[in-house]
Chain A
Amino acid sequence: MNKITKNELFDLIEKALELPNGSINDESSGDNMEAWDSLGHLSILVLLDKRVNGKASKISNLAVATSVQNISKILVDEGMM
């Protein structure tokens, strides 16, 4: 599996939340984006799991990682980014 890049993560979150390109940046989170609600977060988790060949669903912390920074940190820690 190729490691996921930061730009790929941005694209993935934009796709999950059905947002235009360039909407997501390092500061984006569920606290400052209306579309990133609990339903939106489920979409992010599904796309992320597909991208990393099903390995994301074994990382329970991702369920509560509702910001780009938190997701990135977990992916780096897990060697996926």
Chain B
Amino acid sequence: MNKNKYGATIKAIEYHLPKTFEDNSMLSINNPEWRMDDIFNKTGINKRWISNENETSIDLAYVAAKKVIDKFDTEKIDTLLYVTQSPEYFLPSSSCILQDKLSLPSNIKAFDINLGCSGYVYGLSMASAYIESGLSENVLLVCSDTYTKYVLPDDRTSRPIFSDAASATLVSKSVSKNIGYFSFGTDGSGFDKLIVKDGAAKSNFMISNAKPSLYMNGAEVFMFTMGTIPDNVEKVLIESSNTINDIDYFFFHQASKIVLENLSRKLKLPKEKVYSCIEEIGNTVSSSIPIALKIASNSRILKKKNKLLLSGFGVGLSWGSCILEWDDLL
């Protein structure tokens, strides 16, 4: 294959949620002191999906990925990218386990990407770069996390927000370049603003609670988002010679209602251009953007050739935005 002759396009997106959910009325029974109206006003989330005790991110990922490969020739998938921060093991890579479960060919490239809410945009960039370089033709990008396993029952910052989910996106060789421009950023000085501290090498593989738990400083993560993401979005618009008017829809990481509203305010985006499905899905970390894309596609909101701007941001601190031209899905 000649290098740079081809572009990449999204050919399929599927997702999977666990069977169990928890809505705000259930949350309020367990935590009667929480002001649920106030929490809902900030988060915009009413429902969170909770994996069961023995259900791992790979179990969720398998179902989402199977929906894609059932529509496509498995033998043609030459790359598996797996975005997760909820691995089954420290090692080996979860992608290797998933390759076997999905009966994907053994001549496949497979590796994990340890990123959270920015992971989908990073994954898309790697998928399209592999394709454009001629190293791949069909990349299965799977995102899956079970953050709820890290969240303590009385954690009022994280419990009303995070949901478990998996998504699978098929990125394929195309005559047109539908994915990109990209713009990324990293600020590791904020590594401890959203963190699972215990259980790995820094804590000598010990845990202080019954299980490793998530800590999030909501205000600091919010200020990072408000201070950083509008500039990143403007950068990708400028570099791609687009303006806000050229973009049909903005798909931000579905962090919370207050984040989506204030990003819209700071970027002066028309409300109808900012897609949200957060109320019934929750914050599904790296799957939040592909799930939103799929729901919008199913609802016939997205049309072929629509120009979209995607932006993911969060744990790391890490962020990335890109332009995407929408294509018909399988």
Interface residues of A (CB under 8 A from B): 38-39, 41-43, 45-46, 49-50, 54, 57-60, 62-64
- Mostly, the B contact residues are helix
Contact A49 B226 (CB under 8 A): yes
Most chain A Cβ neighbours within 10 Å, of B156, B223, B226, B262: B223
A38 CA / B218 CA spacing, docked (Å):
7
Residues of A within 8 A of B258 (CB): 42, 46
CB distance from B230 to the nearest CB of A (A): 8
CB distance from B300 to the nearest CB of A (A): 33
Residues of B within 8 A of A64 (CB): 217, 219-220
Given A38-B157, A42-B258, A46-B262, the answer on whether A60 and B223 have CB atoms closer than 8 Å is yes
Contact B262 A63 (CB under 8 A): no
Contact B39 A39 (CB under 8 A): yes
A59 CA / B228 CA spacing, docked (Å):
11
- In-complex Cβ contact of B227 among A38, A39, A60 (8 A): A60
A23 CA / B227 CA spacing, docked (Å):
30
Given A46-B262, A49-B226, the answer on whether A63 and B217 have CB atoms closer than 8 Å is yes
Given A46-B258, A46-B262, A57-B227, the answer on whether A38 and B156 have CB atoms closer than 8 Å is yes
Residues of A within 8 A of B265 (CB): 50
Contact A62 B223 (CB under 8 A): yes
Given A46-B262, A49-B262, the answer on whether A41 and B219 have CB atoms closer than 8 Å is yes
**Is B21's CB within 8 Å of the partner chain A?**
no
Contact A63 B219 (CB under 8 A): yes
- In-complex Cβ contact of A57 among B35, B38, B157, B223 (8 A): B223
A58 CA / B228 CA spacing, docked (Å):
8
Residues of B within 8 A of A58 (CB): 227
Residues of A within 8 A of B266 (CB): 49, 54, 57
**Is B211's CB within 8 Å of the partner chain A?**
no
Closest 6 CB pairs of A and B: A57-B226, A63-B219, A63-B223, A63-B220, A57-B227, A58-B227
**Is B130's CB within 8 Å of the partner chain A?**
no
